[in-house]
């Protein structure tokens, strides 16, 4: 019984002794937030137009950190596209003291800084360094953080993750360069083939959709995939004119949907040419079938495409020859009006 009491007393003493250490350890772990992140801010720098010598800057920032006393990192950049023109350690009120070097040939920045003033504890982003670049050439590339280290006032390493940035100085520009119908006059219910040429005027391969309209009614779409820089693609859209009223003129329009980061949208839409959709037998397009159409038909009778007197509008049956079949259609629709 006495041995049991002694054992209980020993256990109690050990718990009392260990408890402060456990509390201290828990507090330390709580302060060093697992979500500490070192990151490039802003994460994305985009330019559509190259202006040689244009300046921009990024911050190397930290968030969700406790008792940050020292940091070190390397940042790689596309040295063919960018040049480093300035580095500033932040924040001023914490009196950062540090060293850095820049290798333009390798495209590497190294910074090591210690705070003579108060360490940094924050749950929101705080900028540790500001790096200013100037643009030299078109291109794209990461601002890659690596060989990073964060430590507290006791020299303990602070676990953290990193998030890179991205810089892109590239033109994104797709355009419609032509819209050509197979004819400018047709009969209701006939097929008109509309040929559209789209071009990639930008610097990178693009994916987009081409849409075609008569007036504001869409009658076709086509997905353009992996169109290389400087290349064009030709797409033919069949339009069945049964969906419109005869006797009217319809405007043709093609549109290329915008691609990411595209700023010049003026050339994405092209309105080009009109088509007159006529009633059957209206050879001369005056919205009625009458003697004038007989006269036009008679003048082209017996001709094929390429003949001096060939009139494609007199070939109402669209069989490649003006013959009796076309005359029958005029007779069947005689005196009709649109």
Domain with CATH 1.10.1330.10 in the chain: 282-338
CB distance 150 to 65 below 8 Å: yes
Give mean pLDDT, residues 242-268.
Answer: 96
Res 128 pLDDT > 90: yes
pLDDT value of position 333: 95
Give mean pLDDT, residues 58-86.
Answer: 98
The strand order across the sheet containing 108-115 reads: 44-47, 165-169, 139-151, 70-76, 108-115, 96-103
* Superfamily for domain range 171-278: Immunoglobulins (2.60.40.10)
Cβ burial of 29 (10 Å; 0-12, 13-18, 19+) is exposed
Res 239 pLDDT > 80: yes
- For residue 316, give both structure tokens: 């109402």
pLDDT value of position 30: 46
Buried b / exposed e over 122-150, threshold 16 CB at 10 Å, is eeeebebbbbebebbeebebebbbeeeeb
Question: Which residues, 6+ apart, have CB-to-CB distance to 60 below 8 Å?
Answer: 38, 39, 40, 41, 73, 75, 111, 127, 128, 129, 130, 131, 145
Q: Residues 173-222: pLDDT tens digits? A: 999 999 999 999 999 999 999 999 999 999 999 999 999 999 999 999 99
The pTM of the full predicted model, rounded to 2 decimals, is 0.72
pLDDT value of position 273: 84
pLDDT value of position 49: 87
Which position has the token pair 């400087």? 230
- Read off the pLDDT band of 225 (50, 70, 90): very high
Give mean pLDDT, residues 253-272.
Answer: 95
- For residue 99, give both structure tokens: 């060293």
The percent of residues in the chain predicted with pLDDT above 70, rounded, is 90
282-338 architecture in CATH?
A: Orthogonal Bundle (1.10)
pLDDT value of position 196: 98
- Give the closest residue to 212 by CA, choosing from 189, 188, 193: 193
Q: Residues 35-57: pLDDT tens digits? A: 999 999 999 999 988 999 999 99
Domain with CATH 2.60.40.680 in the chain: 35-169
CATH 2.60.40.680: does it fit domain 35-169? yes
For 44, phi then psi, to 5°, come to -140, 125
- Give the closest residue to 177 by CA, choosing from 193, 195, 194, 197: 197
pLDDT value of position 78: 97
Triad 121, 127, 131: Cα angle to 5°: 150
Cβ burial of 222 (10 Å; 0-12, 13-18, 19+) is middle
pLDDT value of position 213: 98
pLDDT value of position 7: 43
- Give the closest residue to 60 by CA, choosing from 24, 80, 84, 29: 84
Res 26 pLDDT > 90: no
Give mean pLDDT, residues 258-277.
Answer: 94
The percent of residues in the chain predicted with pLDDT above 90, rounded, is 87
pLDDT value of position 34: 58
Triad 42, 48, 54: Cα angle to 5°: 65
Give mean pLDDT, residues 324-333.
Answer: 95
Res 262 pLDDT > 50: yes
């Amino acid at each position: 019984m006495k041995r049991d009491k002694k054992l209980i007393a020993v256990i109690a003493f050990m718990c009392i002794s260990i408890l402060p250490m456990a509390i201290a350890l828990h507090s330390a772990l709580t302060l060093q937030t697992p979500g500490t992140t070192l990151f490039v801010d802003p994460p994305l720098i985009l330019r559509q137009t190259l202006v040689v010598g244009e300046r921009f800057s990024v911050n190397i920032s930290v968030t969700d950190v406790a008792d940050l006393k020292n940091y070190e990192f390397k940042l790689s950049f596309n040295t063919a596209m960018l040049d480093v023109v300035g580095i500033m350690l932040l924040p001023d009120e914490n009196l950062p003291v540090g060293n850095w070097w820049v290798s333009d040939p390798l495209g590497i920045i190294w910074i090591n800084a210690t705070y003579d003033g108060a360490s940094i504890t924050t749950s929101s982003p705080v900028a540790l360094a500001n790096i200013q670049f100037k643009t030299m050439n078109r291109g794209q590339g990461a601002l890659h953080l690596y060989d990073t280290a964060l430590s507290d006032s006791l020299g303990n390493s602070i676990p953290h993750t990193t998030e890179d940035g991205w810089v892109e100085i590239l033109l994104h520009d797709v355009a419609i360069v032509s819209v050509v119908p197979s004819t400018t006059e047709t009969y209701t219910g006939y097929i008109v083939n509309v040929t559209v040429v789209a071009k990639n005027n930008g610097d990178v391969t693009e994916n987009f959709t081409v849409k075609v309209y008569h007036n504001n009614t869409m009658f076709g779409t086509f997905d353009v995939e992996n169109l290389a820089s400087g290349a064009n693609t030709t797409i033919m859209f069949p339009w069945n004119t049964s969906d419109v009223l005869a006797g009217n003129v319809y405007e043709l329009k093609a549109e290329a949907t915008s691609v990411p980061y595209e700023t010049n949208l003026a050339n994405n839409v092209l309105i080009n040419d009109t088509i007159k959709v006529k009633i059957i037998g209206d050879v001369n397009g005056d919205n009625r079938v009458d003697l004038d159409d007989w006269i036009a038909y008679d003048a082209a009778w017996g001709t094929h495409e390429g003949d001096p007197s060939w009139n494609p509008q007199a070939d109402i049956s669209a069989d490649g020859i003006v013959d009796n079949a076309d005359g029958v259609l005029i007779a069947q629709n005689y005196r009709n009006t649109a």
